[in-house]
Structure 1
Amino acid sequence: MASPKLSVLDLVPVRTDQTTADALAATTALAQVADRSGFTRYWVAEHHNMPAVAATSPPVLIAVLAAQTERIRLGSGGVMLPNHAPLAVAEQFALLEAAYPGRIDLGLGRAPGSDPVTSWALRGAAGRDDTDVERFPQYLDDVMALMDSTVGVRIPIRGKDYRLLATPSATTVPRQWLLGSSTYSAHLAAAKGLPYVFAHHFSGRGTAEALEIYRREFRPSERTPEPTTFLTVNAVVADTEEEAVALAIPNLQSMARLMTGAPLTALDLVEDAQKAELTAPQRAMVEDGLARNVVGAPAAAAERIRALAAEFGVDEVMVHPVASARQGGDPRRSPAREQTLELLAAALVD
């Protein structure tokens, strides 16, 4: 089987031995590893009010990482559009594209990325509400039109058109992607002729159905003449399978707690996770995650990624490196996440 291109998804995890500043420094170092190792793109997520996640503002993170890397594409995986005014998103990414032309991806999603209270606070007191989700298809169109200096958005006021632009003189625009974890997003991406990414790393379920819908219903557009997609997967790769499993357990335990309504905390170190007490349902979720994610030694992990790419018909795989760390390490680095990328690159990147 041919080797797919590799990319990275990063939530900027915060371990129990890290401050937010440490986690950001570790993510910067990880992006530099991906840049040196030939990865195609590096995307950062948007989550809010979560003790183990520092990725709250994709455009800010992208600006930081773009300044510290040379060639890799930087993007959002994704900006949760109902949380933000389309004009604000368009302005931010138009500036990023102007500063780093040809290196910026704008991935957009319609999930809140947080709890209802935090979502309300993000939208502010101006009265934005759940109808923003219903308006999501129009918001997608508005963002792209606003970033294009030849198009813009026209608002009728008193019988005249008021023209809005995100930037006065754009020469290029970011590549826009639609992200999703349901078939709704597959139908919408196909209808609008957008590149599409299904969140396979969430649960590993529903991916085949979503991609089949997207490919079957796709309507070519000027920027995307044919269906364009890739696969996302959680990954931990180490010199031995035993070490990879140990490094993967803290994240899997954290996800099990999240899914069972337990209080969230910063990501445990390996030694603390080994002593953690879990309920029977949580233990089952951890075992399911070990079976579903790419966790193992380099050769086996590379073969699993090739098999996943072949199964879903994609030529690119975006790995979400979820390894924790052992006690006594540098809090400003994520050595196991860096190793995951380096070992995969050695096995898969031409």
Structure 2
Amino acid sequence: MTALALSVLDLVPVRSDQTTGDAIAASVGLARAADRLGYRRYWVAEHHNMPAVAATNPPVLIGMLAGATERIRVGSGGVMLPNHAPLVVAEQFALLEAAYPGRIDLGIGRAPGSDPVTSWALRHGGGGVEEDAVARFPEYVDNVLAMMEPAGVGLALRGGQHVLRATPSATSVPAVWLLGSSDYSARLAAAKGLPYVFAHHFSGAGTAEALELYRSTFQPSPEADAPRTFLTVNASVADTAEEAHRQALPQLLQMLALRTGQPLVAQRTVEDAETIVAAGLTEAQEGLIDAMRAKWVIGDASTAREQLAALAASYGVDEVMVHPVGGALGGTDPRTAPARVRTLELLAG
């Protein structure tokens, strides 16, 4: 494992015993643990209007997490660019890079990260049209890159040339990554010469094909002279395999609800999740859970490390981004996430 770099993906989950403030405090503690344990980067996602996810605004969270840590790179996994004006994203991340130079990653995605009503509210409120925002995604990526450059970008407006800069006196820019779960994002990242991450943790399907497409069609650019990628994976690691599987249950039930159109709720405690499973699931539900388990890393430290090493070797990457999904027992301090911290500790060795 010494050659395999590990990073962290965090959705800032909200448990049934937590307020939003509690969930943020738990994530700050997790980021500090990742920093202490030598993890390479810590990314936060963008999701909206979900009862179990507090990661609605990556730039705000990144500022808090970077300020609470010392060494680790902090970034977005990712900012859903069609939801935002490119200039706003460029300004946010230029300021973060200025405050924490060399520690900021801007991961950009194309998916809405929310339900259709919330997507409409995000884009309509900003004066955009959803279809236009998605169709113009490649242009938006170019705009963000150009606006963050220290020299800015020239805009022709009303017969004159105007310089637009994301921040007045930048000396560096954040690293930009494209994120995706389809061939579209792999092709775009390769064409623009950007580092690329496939959302393996979300479905685990099509990863090899997307990475091969990205690598085989990559065009060097100022951002990257060669293909650069890593994997994301859900993980629940504990002192015993039995406990790791037990702690994975709350997140498994969350994903089951998401994929079958059931109402979403705050993340259950381990005991509450066990009660639901004990009451009985349908054969189809059990099949979905078993399929998800097979693609996650769940087990004790030795088994989990072997799984991560095999995953990295299979896809030819030297970095894996772990999404720690372990749930909490009833009575756990709501401002902590001990199972998620333990996952990072055991994987770090």
TM-score by length of 1: 0.97
2:296 paired with 1:300: no
Q: How far 1:278 sits from its partner (Å)?
A: 3.1
Q: 2: CA distance between counterparts of 1:193 and 1:3?
A: 25
Runs of 4+ residues over 3 Å off in structure 1: none
Q: Secondary structure at 1:319's aligned position in 2?
A: strand
CA RMSD, aligned part only? 1.0
Q: In the alignment, what sits opposite 2:57?
A: 57
Selected match of 1:280 from 283, 300, 306 = 283
Q: 1: CA distance between counterparts of 2:133 and 2:161?
A: 23
Q: In the alignment, what sits opposite 1:325?
A: 328
Q: In the alignment, what sits opposite 1:73?
A: 73
Q: How far 1:2 sits from its partner (Å)?
A: 6.2
Distance 1:127 1:233, change over 3 A: closer
Check conservation: 2:150, 2:172, Cα contact below 8 A: no
Q: 2: CA distance between counterparts of 1:268 and 1:107?
A: 29
**Residue identity matched to 2:288:** M
Q: 1: CA distance between counterparts of 2:128 and 2:78?
A: 23
Q: In the alignment, what sits opposite 1:158?
A: 158
Q: 1: CA distance between counterparts of 2:153 and 2:287?
A: 50
2:144 paired with 1:143: yes
2:349 paired with 1:343: no
- Number of aligned residue pairs: give it: 345
Q: 1: CA distance between counterparts of 2:205 and 2:128?
A: 35
Deviation readout 1:214-257 (Å, 9 max, x if unpaired): 00000011220100000100000001100000000110111011
Q: In the alignment, what sits opposite 2:252?
A: 252
Deviation readout 1:34-55 (Å, 9 max, x if unpaired): 0000000000000000000000
Q: 2: CA distance between counterparts of 1:232 and 1:129?
A: 28
Q: Secondary structure at 1:342's aligned position in 2?
A: helix
Q: Secondary structure at 1:108's aligned position in 2?
A: strand
Check conservation: 1:253, 1:282, Cα contact below 8 A: no
Q: 2: CA distance between counterparts of 1:331 and 1:280?
A: 34
Distance 1:154 1:278, change over 3 A: farther
2:178 paired with 1:175: no
Q: Secondary structure at 1:15's aligned position in 2?
A: coil
Q: In the alignment, what sits opposite 1:31?
A: 31
**Residue identity matched to 1:292:** K
Check conservation: 1:249, 1:286, Cα contact below 8 A: no
Q: How far 1:154 sits from its partner (Å)?
A: 2.6
Q: 2: CA distance between counterparts of 1:33 and 1:343?
A: 12
Q: How far 1:129 sits from its partner (Å)?
A: 2.5
Q: How far 1:124 sits from its partner (Å)?
A: 3.1
Q: Secondary structure at 2:42's aligned position in 1?
A: strand
Check conservation: 1:2, 1:306, Cα contact below 8 A: no
**Residue identity matched to 1:278:** L
Higher mean displacement: 161-170 or 23-32: 161-170
Q: 2: CA distance between counterparts of 1:181 and 1:112?
A: 13
Q: Any gaps of 5 or more consecutive residues in structure 1?
A: none
Q: Secondary structure at 2:305's aligned position in 1?
A: helix
Deviation readout 1:22-67 (Å, 9 max, x if unpaired): 1000000000000000000000000000000000000000000011
Deviation readout 1:316-347 (Å, 9 max, x if unpaired): 0000001101111111100000000000001x
Q: How far 1:158 sits from its partner (Å)?
A: 2.6
Q: 2: CA distance between counterparts of 1:238 and 1:157?
A: 59
Q: How far 1:137 sits from its partner (Å)?
A: 0.5
Deviation readout 1:234-284 (Å, 9 max, x if unpaired): 000001100000000110111011110000000111100011143332221
Q: How far 1:149 sits from its partner (Å)?
A: 1.9
Q: In the alignment, what sits opposite 1:116?
A: 116
**Residue identity matched to 1:11:** L
Q: 1: CA distance between counterparts of 2:85 and 2:69?
A: 29
Q: How far 1:3 sits from its partner (Å)?
A: 3.9
**Residue identity matched to 1:212:** E
Q: In the alignment, what sits opposite 1:271?
A: 271
Q: Secondary structure at 2:202's aligned position in 1?
A: helix
Q: In the alignment, what sits opposite 1:131?
A: 132
Check conservation: 1:95, 1:167, Cα contact below 8 A: yes
Q: How far 1:195 sits from its partner (Å)?
A: 0.3
Q: How far 1:156 sits from its partner (Å)?
A: 1.9
Q: In the alignment, what sits opposite 1:235?
A: 235
**Equivalences for 1:190-205 in 2 at 5 Å?**
190-205=190-205
Q: 2: CA distance between counterparts of 1:267 and 1:310?
A: 33
Check conservation: 2:83, 2:119, Cα contact below 8 A: yes
Q: Secondary structure at 2:162's aligned position in 1?
A: strand
TM-score by length of 2: 0.97
Deviation readout 1:297-322 (Å, 9 max, x if unpaired): 00000000000000000000000001
Q: How far 1:286 sits from its partner (Å)?
A: 1.1
Q: In the alignment, what sits opposite 2:211?
A: 211
Check conservation: 2:119, 2:130, Cα contact below 8 A: no
